[in-house]
Amino acid sequence: MSEGEKLLDVRGLTVRFPTSDGVVQAVSDVTFSLSRGETLGVVGESGSGKSVSNLAIMGLLNRQRTMIAGEVEFLGRDLLTLPPNELRKIRGKDIAMVFQDPFACLHPMYRVGAQIAEAVSAHSHDGKDKAWERAVELLDHVGIPNAKSRARDYPHQFSGGMRQRAMIAMALVHNPSILICDEPTTALDVTVQAQIIELIEAVKQEFNIGVILVTHDLGVIAEVADSVMVMYAGRVMEYGPAAQIFDQPQHPYAWGLLDSMPSVERRLAALVPIEGSPPSLLAPPSGCPFHPRCRYRFEPCPTERPPLVAPVPEAHPDACHLPWDDKVKYGSERSITRLGDAA
C-alpha cells in the first residue's frame, strides 16, 4: 500500500438500523485506513454494506435512527464523536463525495455553475462573483468544453458523463483530502465510464488526495485501485494490495466473485456462479457470514466467526478459517475450471 500521510483510520465501524422487522446489521466491525495518494477500492454485491460504511464516515446517517459504533479518525480527530457543526466544517470540504446517479444529484432548476458556486460559498466567505469564477475554473478543470458558457446551462443540457464531471468539480471546490466515489461510473456507458475513471485518477494525482472508490465492478477496481477491501454481508472478507487480491485472492468469496465474472478477453470454459443468494442482514448467518454459500466450509465455519488476520506473514488479511495450504491448493485449482485446458 502507498506510503503517503495517513488520512483516515477506521476501526471497528459498526452500523445498525433498528426497523419494525428487527435490527438490520448493515455494517459490522469494518477496519481499514487510507493514505494520501492511495485509491482504496471497496467491492461487494448489493447489500454488502459498502455504501453504508461511507455514509457513516461522512456523517450522513441519521444519528437518531441509527446505531453507529467504532472510530473514524480523520487526521487525528474522531468524526463519530464530533458535534454536528464541527462535522459540517469537514464534510464537503476536507472529505467530499461523488454519488452514483448524476441525474438525481443535480437540482434540475438551477444552473450547473450556480450549484457548484453554492458549494464554494458553503465553506468560504467569498462573494458571489468569486464563487462563480471558481465554479467555471473547476468545470474547465474537469474537462467541460467552453466551461464559461456551459456553466450557465441547466443539468438537462448536460449529458450523463458531463454531469458526473460537474459532480466531481463540485467535490473538488475546497481541495479535499479525501474523495469518496460511490459507484461513480455505474450509470454511465462504457466509453464515458473510461473517461470518468481517467479523470478521477488524474484528480487524485494532481491534488494528492486519497480516494475511496466503491463499486460492484471488479474491472473498475482492477484498473485504478491500490488496495482493495472485499465486503460481504456487512463484513470485510479480505483486505490487501490490489495486485495480490486479483492475482492471489485468498477468500472463497473473492474466488466466487472473480470466477462468476465473464471476461472480455476470452470466452471462458465455464462461469462458476456462487450458489444461493446473499443473506438477509436482519438475521445474518452465524459464524462466517459466507458459510451457507461456501463450497469449502468445514466444522468451525457455521459457529465461529473467523477474524480478519493474515494467515501467514507474507499474505494479506482475510476472514476465513481455511488453513493456508488449502487456500493455496484450492486457489490454484480454480483457474483450471474457469479457463479450461487452455490455462
Q: Which residues bind other proteins (CB under 8 A)?
A: 45-46, 159, 161-162, 189-195, 197-198, 216-223, 242-243, 246-247, 256-268, 270-275, 277-278
CB of 263 to other proteins, least distance (A): 6
CB of 105 to other proteins, least distance (A): 18
CB atoms within 10 A of CB 177: 21
Q: Which is nearer to other proteins, 97 or 162 (CB)?
A: 162
List the strands of the sheet with 227-232, edge to edge. 95-98, 178-182, 210-215, 39-43, 227-232, 235-241
Q: Which is nearer to other proteins, 259 or 318 (CB)?
A: 259
CB of 2 to other proteins, least distance (A): 16
Cα–Cα distance measured from residue 244 to residue 315, given in angstroms and rounded to the nearest whole number: 8
Q: Which is nearer to other proteins, 119 or 221 (CB)?
A: 221
Say how many CA atoms lie within 13 Å of 338 toward its Cβ.
18
**Which 3 state secondary structure label does DSSP give 184?**
coil
CA angle 40, 43, 48 (to 5 degrees): 125
Q: Give which of 292, 303, 302, 301 is closest to 321, Cα–Cα.
A: 301
Q: Which is nearer to other proteins, 171 or 213 (CB)?
A: 213
Q: Which is nearer to other proteins, 159 or 175 (CB)?
A: 159
Q: Which is nearer to other proteins, 182 or 259 (CB)?
A: 259
Spacing of C-alpha 271 from chain mean position:
25
CB of 77 to other proteins, least distance (A): 35
CB atoms within 10 A of CB 188: 21
Cα–Cα distance measured from residue 109 to residue 115, given in angstroms and rounded to the nearest whole number: 10
Cα–Cα distance measured from residue 295 to residue 171, given in angstroms and rounded to the nearest whole number: 43
CB of 234 to other proteins, least distance (A): 15
CB of 277 to other proteins, least distance (A): 5
Q: Which is nearer to other proteins, 283 or 309 (CB)?
A: 283
CB of 213 to other proteins, least distance (A): 11
Q: b/e per residue, 72-99, with b = 16+ CB within 10 A? A: bbbeeeebbebeeeebeebbbbbbbbbb
Identify any residues that bridge with 22 across adjacent strands, giving them in sequence order. 19
Which grid cell is 144? 467541460
